[in-house]
Amino acid sequence: MKTWKLEPLEQGKYNHSDNGAGGKYDGKLVLRPSSLDSYIRCPYSFYKQQILGEYGRPNSASQVGTALHFVMEEAIGAKLEGKELSVDDMQRVGVKAWRSYNEKSEVVFHGEQTYQSMANDLYAGVLGLAEALTCVDAVGSESRHSAKIDGHPLFSAMSGSLDVEIPDGVVDLKFTGKKKSNPKDYLLQQSSYAMLRELNGHNTDRLQILNVVRPTKAAKAKADKDGIELVANWHILEMSPNIPYVQHWVDIILNKTEAYAKFEGTVDEKQDFAELLFQGTSPSNSFLCNNTWCSHYTTCPHVEALRDAEKFEEVEMFGAKL
């Protein structure tokens, strides 16, 4: 398998905010740590988003998570300037961020969520986050590290923005549903931050996930009954970087996207080739493969193929349950 050597890219040479969704460097696409994760979850979804630019719709759970990220950014920024945001300040920042996202795009409610449950999650999440941040030894926040990719027809760089930098490492905030996350689920994304930092001369031995967990309905009912404020549970998950693992997936993605870019044929032939190259996961293999989480579900050819297979009673060969 062909190996792609990534070269350091000086900070400031690539500025994501100048480029909009997805980002471009030197006229070509930019690979992100989160897009590596997107690829291993579903290559077809990666193709739709990263190559065709058809990004998924934000849902209610991810909007609360994005607002919490903004709260953390403001709180850490203040701390680094020797100030402190009170919990009330943090709540105000969170609500303001959440409102502005809601104004920009329609909320797609996840599961049984409503505006009220989102507000409850946000308040409980900010209280959990305020507790957790007392344990984070921040030395920087929202810094970007990038690397150049030479000679690829579609991608010219890889770049990621880090939530928080700590001595010899990074912390990434994850707001997840109902239970503590498994650090293994984040190894690729976190290790790719480590790879970008190392390439740019920053030692990275420690990777931490600050996992704020959305409270369950039962926890909310108990807090209401006891007349106490609901505080989201939080955990700090530790892992060690695995840079060869990142290089392995970078090579797979760059080789496949290079083959796609070099394919010559009609538009339909190219689409058929893309469907072969970027095989979708099946609904039985991924919790993301459904109409709530995946915005490509209704038009996805891989789901369509499974539906057709079911019609002809061949569904077992795909192991699918639609």
Binding site for ligand SF4 (CB under 6 A): 42, 44-45, 280-281, 286, 288-289, 294, 296-297, 300, 302-303
Name which of 83 and 321 has its Cβ closer to ligand SF4. 321
The secondary structure of the chain in percent helix, strand, coil, rounded to multiples of 5, reads 50, 20, 35
Handedness of CA 255, 290, 24, 61 (dihedral sign): negative
CA–CA distance, 40 with 76 (Å, rounded to integer) = 31
CB 106 within 8 A of CB 71: no
Cβ proximity to ligand SF4, 160 vs 280, nearer residue: 280
Which of residues 86 and 291 has its CB atom nearest to ligand SF4 in the complex? 291
In whole angstroms, the minimum distance from the beta carbon of 159 to ligand SF4 comes to: 24
158 touches 36 (CB < 8 A): no
Cα 309 to the center of its chain, rounded Å: 32
For strands 24-25 and 28-31, give the pairing. antiparallel
Nearer to ligand SF4, 51 or 288 (CB): 288
Cβ atoms of 274 and 47 within 8 Å: the answer is yes
- Please report where in the chains the tokens 């920053």 appear, as a residue: 202
**Whose Cβ is closer to ligand SF4: residue 169's or residue 280's?**
280
Find the shortest distance in angstroms from Cβ 113 to ligand SF4: 20
Backbone angles phi, psi at 65, to 5 degrees: -60, -40
Nearer to ligand SF4, 42 or 93 (CB): 42
Which single residue brings its beta carbon nearest to ligand SF4? 280
**Closest among 264, 254, 252, 303 to 45, alpha carbons compared:** 303
Q: Which is nearer to ligand SF4, 214 or 302 (CB)?
A: 302
> Is 229 in contact with 122 (CB distance < 8 Å)?
no
- Min dist CB 278 to ligand SF4, Å, is 9
Q: C-beta of 49: minimal distance to ligand SF4 in Å?
A: 9
Nearest-approach distance from CB 314 to ligand SF4, in angstroms: 17
Q: Are 158 and 147 in contact (CB under 8 A)?
A: yes
Closest CB 279 distance from ligand SF4, rounded Å: 8
Query: C-beta of 189: minimal distance to ligand SF4 in Å?
Result: 17
